[in-house]
Structure 1
């Protein structure tokens, strides 16, 4: 016992070393509005608005261990969406105290919360939130296609090879991807999306399996939706003529192409604005949450008139699509042909 006391007095009491925290960057204070747009795709007021949407779920109860503020968590996620770079680089943009795990967690948590937000929840029922007449007028001004209420298309978001069911995610170009289906208005507002199917799924099969198809089949809309040749010709879904045999059919195809440019433009804007959608180094479930978050953020940006990169060089040549799976009833195609011929006869 005497030896223990002697050792205690000789070595002295253990001194307390105060933990030192590195100073974090303050992007909202140090960057101009233009610099915020370049780095985060949103301005100062927009970032505060987005932070307020998720504040109830992300706000820490205490400041213990210098917890990240809601704004800092949002900036980490937005920086990742805008750049698509590694989490270490994203964390370093905010400050050296941000670990890779923290940046990863913030991005994952933000992605899940954004697409679950009730304020900007995507319209999964297919019901129009914009007066039908305004929608048709907007599309008519694009390419003189009458009675159009929406455009539909699929785009592939490339991902790293998953650990499970890897073969299902290989698309026709030999790359691993998520097949994302979007329905949009002429002003690039996304009204419906499906983000869960692997890249090997054909566009027509994806359409057949979603609730929107069943809804529009049972309650046909007061208008038509335009799709490319990968989709079937249905009473409410118009595709172009494979071969235009008359000037009127050529006019229909031309108007169809010009009007459907809206969805092609949307795909380009999404992947230029949110560069992470060009390649995601995550598992499919996390990738789907990130894609949905970017879609919701795109709608927020469009509604708040955030300047987006909308440079568009025109439609790309139609790619040769695999033959459509035999899943649609023959009478659906016959009715679609009758309606398409009536449009050609009355308007072209």
Structure 2
């Protein structure tokens, strides 16, 4: 099931930029407004936060390698869900419509997909699946460009540090 869909950006727009512009991002950035307890996993293209964990660049310890393995496994689950969506609705593979209409088609396909899931319909089988998540990429870094363009670079650095500490705590605890 898909629980969040933002279908107003062109395909060339980076996922982390879409997240940053979303109400979900604003809610999670404010500790008092977080919509759920827990964390969100993102690939290495996302910024590290207390609530948004990315893979480690160079895992050294057994615990760090284990963290990256389970992080990658979760990413694979998301990739598979997107693959099922695209197999069920072939039009999503190469959508060639004007932007406003494309947004509506994507949203409706996701709604129908969720309805199919509620009805427990069988997933379509097809050997083709488009990859949406690069789980092999481990390019996590502190994005200097992001800090330069941030409204408050000091706050951006502090949020990165807090995210790094939270991720380390999770790795060491589990």
Distance 2:100 2:138 in 1: 29
Say if 2:160 is the partner of 1:333.
yes
Pairwise CA RMSD = 2.4
> Which residue does 1:229 correspond to in 2?
44
1:212 to 24, 46, 50: 24
Secondary structure, counterpart of 1:307 in structure 2? coil
Instruction: Rate the CA distance shift 1:249–1:263 in 2: closer, same or farther, 3 A.
Output: same
> Which residue does 1:282 correspond to in 2?
97
Say if 2:25 is the partner of 1:198.
no
* Offset at residue 317 of structure 1 (A): 5.3
Spell out, residue by residue over 1:244-276, the C-alpha distance to the aligned partner (whole angstroms, 9 max, x if none).
121110010001111222211111111111000
Distance 1:193 1:281 in 2: 19
Spell out, residue by residue over 1:121-169, the C-alpha distance to the aligned partner (whole angstroms, 9 max, x if none).
xxxxxxxxxxxxxxxxxxxxxxxxxxxxxxxxxxxxxxxxxxxxxxxxx
Secondary structure, counterpart of 1:282 in structure 2? coil
Secondary structure, counterpart of 1:196 in structure 2? coil
- 2:92–2:106 contact (8 Å) kept in structure 1: yes
Q: Which structure is higher in RCO with an 8 Å CA cutoff and minimum separation 6?
A: 2
Say if 2:67 is the partner of 1:252.
yes
Distance 1:247 1:320 in 2: 16
* Offset at residue 318 of structure 1 (A): 3.4
Please give the TM-score of this superposition, normalised by the length of structure 1: 0.42
* Offset at residue 203 of structure 1 (A): 1.6
Count of aligned pairs between the two proteins? 158
Instruction: Rate the CA distance shift 1:241–1:266 in 2: closer, same or farther, 3 A.
Output: same
* Offset at residue 335 of structure 1 (A): 0.6
Distance 1:271 1:259 in 2: 19
* Offset at residue 217 of structure 1 (A): 1.4
* Offset at residue 278 of structure 1 (A): 1.1
Secondary structure, counterpart of 2:161 in structure 1? helix
Secondary structure, counterpart of 2:9 in structure 1? strand
Moved over 6 A (4+): 311-315
> Which residue does 1:239 correspond to in 2?
54
Distance 2:138 2:53 in 1: 18
Distance 2:134 2:88 in 1: 20
